[in-house]
A and B are shown apart, each in its own frame.
Chain A
Amino acid sequence: MEVTTTWYLVLAAALFTTGTVGVLIRRNPLVLFMCVELMLNAVTLTFVAFGSALGGLSGQMAVFFALVVAAAEVVIGLAIIVAIARRHPTTAIDDFSTLRG
């Protein structure tokens, strides 16, 4: 028995689904962000697995940029959470409805 790309893809699918379910059921915005990180990691795993299967480094290159975007997203998201938590001490995701125009 040998580890093939399909194994990695199945694992990534399971991880992505866990992240999606987390985004749907959790109410703490910080935990929501962590679940988004889980989904991003599932996708990076897919990129690396496909890149490794096809040979070459293009898949790993894509992961680099995904990593940078994830970092930027977390920074902005946490800044928004901090700004909102100043006005609503009990930070739940429902408070974010005040973001609408």
Chain B
Amino acid sequence: MMEVTVFIICSVIVLSGALGVLIARNPVHAALFLVETLFGIAVLFIMLDATFLAAVQVVVYAGAIVILFLFVIMLLGVDKAEDLGIEPISGQRPLTIIIGTSILGLVLTTLLISVNGPTGTLAPTPEPTTNTKNLGEMLFTDHLFAVELTALLLTVAVVGAVSLARRIKGPLQPLPIVEAVSDEEIEVQETKDVE
């Protein structure tokens, strides 16, 4: 019964955080709602005996990725509220609701009808107390090649990020696509922004 209570509380936390990300007008609030969801998932990981992953979830996601988000939000100064009343493409929202419910229906149907296997009680993972040790052993024996590839991926990501975000010396060259837009249109856009 205890487990059920914890699960329900965690589900409410996870889903309310996700909805918060969806409807928050301010990106900073969205990032904080994301932290809420991530913490809920970390607790669910503990319930599933994935203790090390729960710690990694908090440290890497809430500690690093969300901070990165907040850093970029502050850096760009885009922390002003977005007007959610505007629908850029007409019919986008009703279509999204239809697509969203279809996806949920598809996934749930697949899950509840065809997945007949793991619906029983959970099998205990081998020795939950040595979860970290087991994971480490498995990581550096069975999955060694994948670990090496991961290192390569991270190196590429770091080099790519640095070269992308590098400030170019001298005045910025206008993009070709910007030149194609006439000055009147830009002015119209600016007056719209002012309003």
Residues of chain A having any CB pair with chain B under 8 Å: 1-11, 13-22, 24-28, 30-31, 33-35, 37-38, 41, 44-45, 48-57, 60-61, 63-65, 67-72, 74-76, 78-83, 85-87, 90-91, 94, 97-98
B188 in the interface (beta carbon within 8 A):
no
Determine how close the nearest CB of chain A comes to the CB of B75; give it in whole angstroms.
Answer: 7
Q: Give the one of B15, B96, B107, B117 with max A CB within 10 A.
A: B107
**With contact pairs A55-B123, A56-B125 given, residues A90 and B193 touching in the complex (Cβ less than 8 Å):** yes
Per DSSP, are chain B's interface residues mostly helix, strand or loop, or mixed? helix
Question: For window 61-119 of chain B, which residues contact chain A by CB distance below 8 Å?
Answer: 61, 64-65, 68-69, 72-73, 75-76, 78, 82, 88, 92-93, 96-97, 99-101, 103-104, 107-108, 111-112, 115, 117-119
In the bound complex, residues from chain B placing their C-beta under 8 Å from that of A57 are 125-126, 131, 134-135, 138
Interface residues on B, range: 35 or more
Q: Are B122 and A4 in contact (CB under 8 A)?
A: yes
Contact A54 B15 (CB under 8 A): no
* Subset of 21 A-B contacts with CB under 8 Å: A1-B4, A2-B121, A3-B47, A5-B118, A11-B11, A13-B111, A21-B97, A21-B100, A34-B21, A38-B34, A41-B37, A41-B41, A60-B53, A60-B131, A65-B150, A68-B150, A69-B153, A70-B65, A79-B162, A81-B72, A82-B75
